[in-house]
Amino acid sequence: MSKMKIKTLIFLFSSLLVFNIQTVLSENSSPVLKSSADDSSMTTEEILDRIEDRYARVGFTADFFQKSTIHAMHLTDTACGTAFFKHPGMMRWEYEKPDKQSIITDGKQLWIYKPEDNQVMIGKAPFYFGSGKGASFLADIKIMRKNFSISLEKDDKNNFYLLKLLPKEKKFDLAVIYLSVSKKDFTVFQIVTYNSYDDKTLIILSNLQFKQKMEDSLFSFKMPEGADILKIDQ
């Protein structure tokens, strides 16, 4: 396997496991909202109730901008595309830049498809996403309370809630997650995760569209003819 492919795989799995939040990093990112109302009277539990009401019953789509950093290797990579989510546990990430690739799960099986190489990596979704890693809690929002201790970080200067999620079960690949949640409609628009190695990845979600109907077939994968298949959890 070439060094370029190895680097691509490193960033791919870093993206599945960790997420970081920062200020606007490029033209592709949506602006951070500023100012406004004093909503400090809302408790963490009330905020979580509103988030669950927003996400628990419908699927949604969003454009995403991603920046992943592997601290020890001094490597940084960016990507963007469109993501699809459906309760419970179904996701589809369609990367457009820098290279086309798809990350698809029906909640049980995971497929990672690189059309340029006609390569498909196959694994078990619970192994990668079962604890809520990789933003998978957006497809099964109740995972948040089940798997994390959640607190509200105080920040009166911004028009969003900042939630801190600490995993109840310590894992080397997941140390802490920060969520930025809109005070206006309780959508999660930025996500940050740090692992124990201080790696981090930025995901900015924009153009969110909540849909009443999303077919399950969107979250399955038909194997291309002649594809090179690699099993990644064995």
- pLDDT, tens digit (0-9, with 9 covering 90-100), for 149-185: 999 997 656 789 999 999 998 877 888 999 999 999 9
Going along the chain from its start, the domains and CATH numbers come out as 3-58+66-80+135-209 (2.50.20)
SS3 sequence of 14-60: HHHHCCECCCCCCCCCCCCCECCCCCCCCCHHHHHHHHHHHHCCCEE
- pLDDT, tens digit (0-9, with 9 covering 90-100), for 6-17: 344 444 444 443
